[in-house]
Amino acid sequence: MIAACLLLAVTTAASAYAQQRGATQTPARPAPATAAPADNGPVPAATIALVDVEALSDDQHGITKLVNAMKRVDAEFATRRQELQALQTKVTNLQDEIKKTATIASPATIQQKQDQLEQMQRELQFKAQGAQADYQRRMTEIVGPIYDDIGKALENFARAHNITM
């Protein structure tokens, strides 16, 4: 106990001594002053606008033409979405079946089911990627011109009201 107190006292004294000694040393030279930036005159007042693009496609408060176009594209892909969901369900069911029968089925049967599972997963991935690419392409075709019209209208409004976008 006495040794711990002595160690604490020595450490504190050494720290205080180092601080006092450091305070008597000459301070570092201040950095040379840099010239103040030149005043180029007053900055003109500007109005800035931000547009929440997600609000444009809101079902209740969005732009009806845009919302309807998006719904139309979604409806076009409903069948493919259902096919992908059905295939995903088959994959999940086969995975569950493999887990359940892993201890009781023969290794050959398990291997056959795993091969089938891998085939189904590849098929699902391939079809999902194709559907996603087709969906994006179709959205661009249908919704793109509407967004262009919205952009032009916003630019015209901003220009008419001296707003920076």
35 pLDDT exceeds 80? Answer: no
pTM comes to 0.63
Query: Stretch 8-28: mean pLDDT, rounded?
Result: 42
Which helix (H) or strand (E) segment is 48 a member of? Answer: strand 47-48
Sign of torsion over alpha carbons 116, 117, 118, 122: positive
- pLDDT tens-digit readout, 43-79: 666 677 787 888 988 989 899 999 999 999 999 999 9
From 32-46, 51-65, 83-97, 132-146, the region with the lowest mean pLDDT? 32-46
Measured torsion, CA atoms of residues 14, 19, 23, 24, in degrees rounded to the nearest 10: 0
Closest CA to 66 of 147, 136, 126, 9: 147
Q: What tokens does 1 get? A: 């106990």
